[in-house]
Structure 1
Amino acid sequence: MRLKVKDYMTKDVVVVKPDQTIKEVIDLIEKTGHDGFPVIDDNGIVIGYISSRDLLRKNLDTKVKDVMSKKLIVAREHMDLRDAARVMFRTGRSKLPVIDEKGKLIGIISNTDVIRSQIERADPKKVENLRKTIESVHNVKTELKRGKIEVDRIIPTQTKVYADELRGRVYELKKGLAEPVIVIKKGGKYYLVDGHHRVVAAKKIGIDKLDAYIIEVPENVELGLEKLVRKKGIKSVRDIQVLEDATHPLVEITFKNSK
């Protein structure tokens, strides 16, 4: 299963209009931290792109339409993510607007998204394999969704995480690089399959919701995860212990290989 642009693009895109001023764009850069924005018309059609470089030595009252780049390089949602990465690398672009067949903006893909796709352990292929395994073992049909889930509603299935790995996950979340968690939804409960460090990191820095792959199973299915949770008395992320003096096994392997 090849990764597509739609799997990693941002759908909630910050945009500007052609009649806005340079001053407004600068204010938007300061507010969002972005270095550029798609320019759309009243119908949502992409008509240009304005970057921080376009703002240099320009009068603050200058209109976006007078300095924006009209020579657009765009992506489509079903485009192979690697092809989009090649385009960005060869053209020096850090972002590509994603458009539909009518030229309407539906998302944006960035080099950060490409990096995230390479460090993710919870990629679409892994999730699909897990879903098929659940269906095979329990002889049921499941439904796979992608969406936001409240951290406080997540029920962990392990009780310990490593402090060093946790620091890395905090950094990734702050930079927008962390991959989605994987949960199994049964009734109104969400059992965490993958992403315990991410969940603890989110709770630590005050993030209320996380991106997640959600595998929904019928309520009559008795999951092994449920038995484990009941046995260990796990109810929420607060029941996870952070191991301060222990090192994550992956770090130990790295240290050993570097000697």
Structure 2
Amino acid sequence: MTKARDLMSRPVISVGPDDTVREAVTRLTGKGFAALPVVDEGGRVVGIFSESDAVRATLRAGDGGDHRDDPVSTAMTSPVEVVSPGTDMVTVAERMLAGRLRCLPVVEEGLLVGVVARRDLLRTLLRDDDVVAADVRALLDDYAGSRRRWRVEVTGGAVVIGGEFADRAERAVVTALAHTAAGVNAVELRPVTGLALRWDD
């Protein structure tokens, strides 16, 4: 199944808690993002600065002041929800929908390693099977030294790889490679006889 590591965008554009709201808004609008993670000097996520946070910070109803040069820490949303690289796509989607989140930082050992935005989810969900098949074929051809050794078919993100496999180790490598292609949610290996291989054979 597709994991957060397969969906996330990197390198990550972020802002620091001491950056100004003005600087953060410039990065948001300049890169076309809906939200940015706020990261401290140690690389740890301390908040999220979204378009909504930007609007609230620049307008601050009623006080008449200009808050564009205030630090991001005064406007960001905190605490922030994060996921690990191994979190599956379904869980990522459910958490984003439940929390109405524009993006989810991906954190490994406490440090920011990527971001999953709504568009990353949509790109994977809407990926054409032909595109997924082409990506898997390219990965397998590279592994095989540009010799096409396997037949690849994709239906709804489920990949079937047919052909000859040297041994158990090669089957494991082929399966792992196929899983790295975006949009892949299942992989099945079939020998030339057309019978599905079992992992205990």
Match of residue 97 from structure 2: 89
Q: How many residue pairs get matched?
A: 147
Q: Is the 8 A contact 1:37 1:49 kept in 2?
A: yes
- Counterpart for residue 125 of structure 2: 118
Matched residue, 1:34 = 33
Q: Aligned with 1:106: secondary structure?
A: strand
Checking the alignment, whether the CA contact within 8 Å between 1:17 and 1:39 is kept in structure 2 is yes
Are the structure 2 counterparts of residues 30 and 110 from structure 1 closer, same or farther at C-alpha, using a change threshold of 3 Å?
Answer: closer
Deviation at 1:64, TM superposition (A): 0.4
The letter of the residue matching 1:94 is R
Question: Structure 1-normalised TM-score?
Answer: 0.49
Higher helix share: 1
Shift of residue 76, structure 1, vs aligned partner = 1.0
Structure 2 gap segments, 5+ residues each:
61-66, 141-148, 152-161, 184-201
Letter in 2 for 1:133: W
Checking the alignment, whether the CA contact within 8 Å between 1:97 and 1:109 is kept in structure 2 is yes
Structure 1 counterpart of 2:81, which letter?
A: I
Gaps of 5+ in 1: 148-178, 181-259
* 2:2 match: 3
Of 150, 156, 166, which aligns to 1:133? 150
Distance verdict in 2 for CA 1:7–1:20, change over 3 Å: same
CA distance in 2, matches of 1:8, 1:42: 25
Structure showing greater relative contact order (alpha-carbon pairs closer than 8 Å, 6 or more residues apart): 2
In 2, Cα distance between equivalents of 1:21 and 1:66: 10
Q: 2:188 matched to which residue of 1? A: none
Q: Which amino acid aligns with 1:65?
A: S
**Correspondences of 1:197-216 after superposition (within 5 Å):** none
Q: Secondary structure at the match of 1:85?
A: helix
Q: Distance in 2 between matches of 1:47 and 1:119?
A: 32
Q: Which amino acid aligns with 1:31?
A: G
**Contact map agreement 2:15 2:36 (CA 8 A) in 1:** yes
Q: Which residue matches 1:71? A: 79
Partner of residue 115 from structure 2, selected from 80, 83, 108: 108
* 1:52 partner letter: E
Question: How far apart are 1:12 and its partner, in Å?
Answer: 1.0
The answer to whether the 8 Å contact 2:35/2:102 transfers is no
Distance in 1, Cα, partners of 2:4 & 2:117: 10
**Equivalence for 2:49:** 50
1:207-256: CA deviations, max 9, x gaps?
xxxxxxxxxxxxxxxxxxxxxxxxxxxxxxxxxxxxxxxxxxxxxxxxxx
Q: What's 2:198 paired with? A: none
**Aligned residues: percent identity?**
26
Contact 1:12 1:107 in 2 (8 A): yes
Q: Which amino acid aligns with 2:49?
A: I
Q: Which runs of 4+ in 1 moved over 2 A?
A: 121-124, 130-147
Q: CA deviation at 1:139?
A: 5.2
